[in-house]
Amino acid sequence: GQSLEQPSEVTAVEGAIVQINCTYQTSGFYGLSWYQQHDGGAPTFLSYNALDGLEETGRFSSFLSRSDSYGYLLLQELQMKDSASYFCAVRDRGGGKLIFGQGTELSVKP
């Protein structure tokens, strides 16, 4: 089977850096993605890693280590608007299905 694990909650202060980890077990691996969801709204795509290493997009970076079946999302210069749920997801070998983790609720405090 396939499964992903990520912390259920993370709290940080405005301006700080926070890392959200994700470990996965899959029968085939076609990339690790990250999604953001505010207050039950539509999840939106943040980033994707197919190969080992760090991908940077503005204040957000995502890292992947395929040998460790592990990745993380790094959020820098936290802002109040970053308070949201963050989901990691792996793409199934079926060619397009995503399997999502249970989500990490990030609370940014002043």
Partner 1 sequence: DADVTQTPRNRITKTGKRIMLECSQTKGHDRMYWYRQDPGLGLRLIYYSFDVKDINKGEISDGYSVSRQAQAKFSLSLESAIPNQTALYFCATSDPGTGLNEQFFGPGTRLTVL
- Report the distance separating Cα 10 and Cα 102, nearest Å: 13
Residue number with CB closer to partner 1 (19 or 55): 55
Token representation of residue 10: 């993370």
- Encoded amino acid at 30, one letter: Y
Kindly compute the dihedral angle of the four CA atoms of residues 10, 11, 14, 18, in this order, to the nearest 10 degrees: -30
Residue number with CB closer to partner 1 (40 or 58): 40
- Report the distance separating Cα 101 and Cα 3, nearest Å: 7
Least spacing, CB of residue 5 vs partner 1, in Å: 11
Residue number with CB closer to partner 1 (27 or 110): 27
Residue number with CB closer to partner 1 (88 or 108): 88
Least spacing, CB of residue 40 vs partner 1, in Å: 6
**Which spans of this chain sit near partner 1 (rule: CB under 8 A)?**
8, 30-31, 33, 40-45, 48, 50, 87, 89, 91, 94-103
Least spacing, CB of residue 16 vs partner 1, in Å: 25
- Tell me the backbone φ, ψ of residue 82, rounded to 5 degrees: -80, -10
